[in-house]
């Protein structure tokens, strides 16, 4: 089985706001927020007796939703094997979100089963699948989940870390800096990158703690995450800033691209820039940084 390489276009996934599907006010407000994606949640934020009502509200919201922009719209469903799974999947089939977020994925078979379900329903062009990584079993099966999902139709697109459930299951302490969780988070990032997936950091629960949120966003960016899942609109600006492209980073990227584009460096795999050696791989990274900066600037113009 050949591994599928990363071919999907570059997408901004700095800030992914989770919105309760049963909250009419939150649904209406989400359309005007500056987040890169909205995750409409049918799972944890909706009481069991309100699931059907939430599906109806979400169907109505999608029927009037402006899909012309670059923002992604994602539906987090309940467990496909549970009492609401079939109805949630039917809703996703009708709404055609950009992606469906599967909760508590622990094995590759769980992803493949839903991918096959959508293919059999005649939706080979979408939606993509995202997987919540929030169980101990998922951590043991990370590579298999990532690779199997990418080699069967390339439908799996993204990992989203769920630390609240993982902490509950493992007993790992919730303390600032996440020292005991960092090794596990790095495993998720490595597995995602090995199969060409994006990877999103977990929520920060205390939305009143601005300093703590900013610190965790910086930490996630340095670790290699693409963005952060959020629980409150007040958290969007911090995530966009941390996972954006700063002036110094953009200037450095421009200098690297310019160095490799200079006539005297044509065909070289390594060039000298400001007293250090820069390889071709750094030029590729720099081009990606500049592409992200362009996407961010385009988004600002449209907002």
Residues 6+ apart with CB under 8 A from 284: none
> Does the domain made of 15-242 have the CATH classification 3.20.20.60?
yes
Tokens read off for 249? 């980073």
Determine the average pLDDT of the residues in 38-62. 97
Extents of the domains making up the chain: 15-242, 247-302
My answer on whether omega of the bond before 127 falls inside 30° of 0, hence cis, is yes
**In the structure, what pLDDT confidence band is assigned to residue 303 with cuts at 50, 70 and 90?**
low
Tokens read off for 76? 């987090």
CA distance linking residue 73 with residue 103, whole number of Å: 16
Determine the average pLDDT of the residues in 259-283. 88
pLDDT of 69: 82
**In the structure, what pLDDT confidence band is assigned to residue 3 with cuts at 50, 70 and 90?**
very low
**In the structure, what pLDDT confidence band is assigned to residue 7 with cuts at 50, 70 and 90?**
very low
- With beta carbons less than 8 A apart as the criterion, state whether 165 and 194 touch: no
Whether pLDDT at 93 is above 50 = yes
Q: How many helices (H) and strands (E) does the chain have?
A: 12, 10
CA distance linking residue 59 with residue 72, whole number of Å: 16
Residue 30 sits at the vertex; the CA angle it makes with 24 and 33, to the nearest 5 degrees, is: 155
Whether pLDDT at 124 is above 60 = yes
Q: Which CA distances in Å does 199 have to 159, 183, 196, 213, 228?
A: 5, 15, 10, 18, 9
Residues 6+ apart with CB under 8 A from 146: 156, 159, 191, 192, 194, 195, 197
pLDDT of 2: 35
CA distance linking residue 98 with residue 125, whole number of Å: 10
In a 3-state reduction of DSSP, which class is residue 245?
Answer: coil
């Amino acid at each position: 089985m050949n591994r599928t390489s990363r071919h999907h276009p570059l997408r901004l996934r700095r800030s992914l706001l989770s919105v309760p599907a049963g909250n009419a006010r939150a649904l209406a407000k989400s359309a005007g927020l500056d987040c890169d994606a909205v995750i409409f949640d049918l799972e944890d934020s909706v009481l069991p007796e309100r699931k059907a009502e939430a599906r109806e509200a979400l169907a109505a919201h999608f029927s009037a939703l402006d899909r012309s922009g670059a923002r992604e719209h994602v539906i987090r469903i309940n467990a496909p094997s549970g009492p609401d799974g079939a109805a949630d999947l039917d809703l996703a089939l009708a709404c055609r979100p950009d992606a469906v977020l599967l909760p508590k994925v622990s094995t590759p078979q769980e992803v493949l089963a839903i991918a096959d379900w959508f293919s059999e329903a005649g939706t080979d062009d979408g939606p993509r699948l995202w997987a919540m990584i929030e169980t101990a079993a998922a951590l043991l099966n990370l590579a298999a989940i990532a690779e199997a999902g990418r080699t069967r139709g390339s439908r799996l697109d993204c990992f989203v870390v769920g630390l609240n459930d993982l902490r509950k299951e493992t007993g790992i302490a919730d303390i600032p800096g996440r020292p005991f969780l960092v090794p596990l988070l790095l495993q998720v990032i490595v597995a995602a990158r090995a199969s060409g997936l994006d990877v999103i950091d977990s929520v920060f629960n205390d939305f009143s703690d601005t300093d703590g949120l900013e610190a965790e966003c910086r930490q996630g960016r340095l670790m290699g995450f693409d963005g952060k899942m959020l629980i409150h609109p007040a958290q969007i600006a911090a995530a966009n800033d941390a996972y954006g492209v700063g002036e110094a980073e953009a200037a450095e990227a421009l200098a690297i691209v310019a160095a490799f584009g200079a006539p005297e460096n044509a065909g070289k795999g390594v060039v000298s820039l400001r007293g250090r050696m820069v390889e071709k791989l750094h030029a590729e990274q720099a081009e990606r940084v500049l592409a992200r900066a362009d996407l961010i600037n385009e988004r600002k113009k449209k907002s």
